[in-house]
A and B are shown apart, each in its own frame.
Chain A
Amino acid sequence: MPPDLTTAPAAPRPAAPDHAPLLEIEGLKTHVDTPEGIVRAVDGAGFSVPRGKIVCLVGESGCGKSMTARSVLGLVEPPSRIVEGAIRWHRDGGESVDLAALDPRGEAMRAVRGREIAMVFQEPMAALSALHTIGDQVIEAIRLHLPLSREEAEERAVRLLTRVGIPRAAERLRSYSFQLSGGMCQRVMIAIALACDPALLIADEPTTALDVTTQARILDLLGDLQADTGMSVLFITHDLGVVAEIADEVVVMYLGTVVEHGPVDDIFHHPQHPYTRALLGSVPRLGTGPRQRLDTIRGTVPHPSERPEGCPFHPRCDVAVAGVCDRGEGPVEVALGASRGVRCVHAGAEGSAS
């Protein structure tokens, strides 16, 4: 059961009337220098996160989804670097900053990271310190950004922990992370992320390490918190079931580029990119019965350092056109409506438009 809504940490953010997105990523290239050469981890990715929506960033390992998130937060460190592109952060008042151009260690970036944009990671046990109490860690996160006294911060910490579904929050302030289950640790991480009432929460595979029963409750919690606060969520996952449960919009990445994006129902019911279609076909669906052969995608995801020429998916694609898909820079994005785009030479050509 979600806790009493009156314990929400702050008044709901007024629904922004402007339709400008909160976050706009354009032509982002984040590369990694390795002894074997440059790995183009993110290679011209672009998408936006609207206000008050949950956007899921999906893809298999090596598609650049985590690196994209780290680029937004200014957590890209050598040998990785942002080479090109813009990450536009549009504040409520209409003021905009390009996060890609900020010094990752500078004052301006530190004011954004953790305060305006917060993050939750995959391994809650590893992300929490085992040497400090839960209370100390939540209170530290609050006082880092808000001018509150220790007592005020402690009160706020109890409210936050209660809000994220931790029973007997006042007692739990004195607990250590190893005394809590994985699900409880993830709730603490979410409380820390929400400490300063962020406008955007980036959640990187937050339920992957959890049991399915716990995952369901954390997804419920994130959905409730989003609805209560009006924040936006960028949710990174490889699990299409989770995407279907929580997303408003979906961004599909493959080898560092966005191959398709759009509203969740369109992506699942009218997928346009061959990769999206193949990915959906390879997921077992509950209720289909035993001994089902699954559709597969031939081959494997190439290492990002061996990125094919042209469309990155063409060596595994059933509808690739020789001489078209296997050369040049790859297809440009074809817009199929205001919030829908596909990068494929076949886009829009096969009927079933969204």
Chain B
Amino acid sequence: MNDTPAAPLLDVRGLKVHFPVRRGPFGRVTGHVRAVDGVSLALRPGETLGLVGESGCGKTTLGRALARAVEPSAGRVLYDPGDGGDPWDVGALSRRGLRAYQRQVRVVFQDPFSSLNPRMTLLRIVGDPLKAHGLASGSELEDRVADMLTRVGLSSRYMRRYPHAFSGGERQRISIARALILGPRLVIADEPVSALDVSVRAQILNLLLELREQLNLTYLFISHDLSVVESVCDRVAVMYLGKVVETGPTSPLYAQPRHPYTEALLSAVPRPDPRLRGAGRRIRLADDLPDPARPPAGCSFHTRCQAAVDGVCDVPGRPPELAPAGEGRLTACHRATDLTLTGVPALGPAVEGA
């Protein structure tokens, strides 16, 4: 972890992604789904930032906007290319600039079964980005693909095979190889292990950790699984209805959350020890996430929050802003200073069964 306030690799300021809702025969725009609604975040070089939240909170859309796979509606993303020059304004890049950006920022997707083209051999799947960017061809391309396959734990002998011959874990290794072949600095991993079996999941997580050390990578790790996020991420950002409600270093954030939503999420995680059943505070949120086209007034979490106070948390036009909460942490809660929230007691590393 680096405490030096190095220039962020990615500096996200007030980013919004709104999707129009169209109704009627002429497709009249009747409203907007505010998938990402004013997110400010900094990703520091070399860190792994976890992005967590329920489905529909906008974490995937945020990841896609940062990769410039969807167009933001407002806000800025500044990228530090690391060459001593000025940061790039990602929204204002030329076509050439965007290609350079997309070489340095790569994405790994969740589903290893649908994200690989079944008609392409491994050589093409992994090697195509090199070709598309005009970086290698012929035997040099084959050598680089072989080298990358070895790095992710696959034999280079498999280069001429098709994806169907591989298991879920192996396919995720292929996706990782494809993402890393261009030598990126930032990898956006969207639920990279959610579709995998337990034993294979651990292999892929360890591989991601090793590659981070070997290749000096920075990760944005998007996941709904808070146990996985804790084991991988240095810092965590919690999203709710398009907004970041809390960020901070992983251990203090898990030990003592500063936002009631983080507290509720942590209390809902099933813990793999029957002796912990019923231990700790149980908070149960109502099932229904509000409609992101019409977020509740004031704090958008107030409709499900046990600590919400009428006249404070539900005042229209007064949403809570992200504010410092000690230890390099930020929280967006009107009641942050008068709440004491419960997190997860630290187990310490590697506890063996009793």
Q: Is the CB of A181 within 8 A of B284?
A: no
Interface string of B260-285 (1 = CB under 8 A from A): 00001111111111111100001011
CB pair A293 B206 closer than 8 Å: yes
Measured between C-beta atoms, what is the minimum distance from A291 to chain B in Å? 7
A292 to B346, CA, bound (A): 13
**B224 and A211 form a contact (CB under 8 A):** yes
Assuming the contacts A285-B272, A296-B206, asked whether A290 and B233 have C-beta atoms less than 8 A apart, the reply is: yes
CA distance A181 to B348 in the complex (A): 38
Distance, CA A244 to CA B279, complexed state (A): 12
Q: Please indicate which of the listed interface residues B169, B272, B344, B354 has the most CB atoms of chain A within 10 Å of its own CB.
A: B272
Q: How far is the CB of B161 from chain A (nearest CB, A)?
A: 16
> Which chain A residues border B224 with CB–CB below 8 Å?
211-212
B167 at the interface (CB under 8 A from A): yes
Q: Which residue on B lies nearest to A278, using beta carbons?
A: B199
A301–B270 Cα distance when bound, in Å, is 25
The A259-282 residues at the B interface (CB cut-off 8 A) are 264-265, 268-271, 278-280, 282
Please give, as numbers and ranges, the residues of chain A lying within 8 Å of B198 by CB-CB distance.
Answer: 60, 238, 240, 279, 282-283
A265–B275 CB distance below 8 A = yes
The count of residues in chain A whose C-beta lies closer than 8 Å to any C-beta of chain B is 51
Report yes or no: B347 in contact with A294, Cβ–Cβ below 8 A.
Answer: no
> CA separation between A261 and B279, bound complex, in Å?
25
Count of residues in B whose CB is under 8 Å from the partner chain: 60
The answer, among B271, B287, B350, B351, for a CB contact under 8 Å with A181, is B287
> Hey, which chain A residues are within 8 Å of B54, CB to CB?
211-213
Docked Cα-Cα span, A46 to B275, in Å, equals 27
Residue of chain B at shortest CB distance from A183: B287
A contact face: mostly helix, strand, loop, or mixed: loop
B346, A244: Cβ atoms closer than 8 Å: no
Query: Do residues B272 and A282 form an inter-chain contact, with CB atoms below 8 A?
Result: no
Let me know if A152 is at the binding interface, CB within 8 A: no
Enumerate chain B residues within 8 angstroms of A286, measured Cβ to Cβ.
226-227, 230, 254, 266, 269, 271, 344, 347
In the complex the two chains form, is B227's CB within 8 Å of A244's CB?
A: no
Give 10 closest A-B pairs by Cβ, nearest first: A241-B270, A183-B287, A287-B347, A282-B202, A216-B268, A294-B202, A284-B231, A297-B199, A60-B197, A211-B54
**A216-B284, A283-B227, A285-B271 known, 12 other contacts, Cβ within 8 Å:** A184-B288, A211-B54, A216-B270, A244-B271, A244-B276, A278-B199, A286-B230, A286-B266, A288-B350, A290-B250, A296-B206, A301-B197
11 A–B contacts, CB within 8 A, in A order: A212-B224, A241-B227, A244-B270, A268-B275, A271-B353, A282-B202, A285-B351, A286-B254, A290-B231, A300-B169, A301-B197
